[in-house]
Structure 1
């Protein structure tokens, strides 16, 4: 949405003294949109992180279930070593690139999940699913990056003090008292 009165500098300052009904309506619309965008961004991050943690759980569960299932059978040593290397490689690569380096590129997500295939061929789904979730994550981030207030989408503090103050930091007790006297004149008695 295009805004006439609100700019990124006003959002960065945190607030604005509203002097017209149009400014108030625009600030209200911005606050509503900022809240929606913030919720959408948190939802995308939560979905991504939930999927990565689910992968950890699935790989660990499947690795230990393989040990339990094949405990009485003969499994070649090379197969156990290969599965253990895939297991450790997957955990190290995913932890390093996704959580430490904060990489969310779909190709990197696909590549770092390839060692899980060494544990079992069922984990061929991980690179495909990671490619899809990486595409979704980057697509949503690109859409949101075009919105005003990105990346944190702070809400704008709206003040309606009729004073000469340009920002909230310039407000004084006297300017607020003058506004109260002007807007609500009385003779000094309460009843």
Structure 2
């Protein structure tokens, strides 16, 4: 039986390379490829994809959001994260959103093809080194509100601007930031935001 694949990555060269490698496998067929997260659901629906290989950082919806969307809207279509960003927090969030696999982009082609087959068969596939790191790192300590506020601090915006963006008072924003700074063991809001981003918590 042929497994129908959709590739989603904002870099055309990466999509082309993945497609070329996967097409060498007799039981795999690339039926669609897209460059942004917003295009995945419709392309998966139209192409009848069995497995979607998703990059995490894409324009529009990111890969983790797309995995959640697929889980809700097309529960028969499975997803695998194929990413350069092997961050433990990303792994945990991806699996919580409904992704069935998480591999890094330097995974050998044969292993990637095998991961597709396993996920299609209903199994979960996770990069072993990343799984170990994720378990050692523990769960994301940030609340949804803390994550929202920290995301707005990545560009170094003043607290007043952050408060306006997230529709909260400056005092409330300072409280969330104080808590997040403590949880990330950093000394200011920008450091906290960057530490959270490095860990894949945002």
Q: Is the structural similarity TM-score above 0.5? A: no
Structure number with greater CO (CA < 8 Å, separation at least 6) is 1
Identify the structure with the greater helix proportion. Answer: 1
Identify the structure with the greater strand proportion. Answer: 2
TM class by shorter chain equals under 0.3
Which one has a bigger Cα radius of gyration?
1
Q: Which TM-score applies when normalising by structure 1?
A: 0.25
Q: Which TM-score applies when normalising by structure 2?
A: 0.24
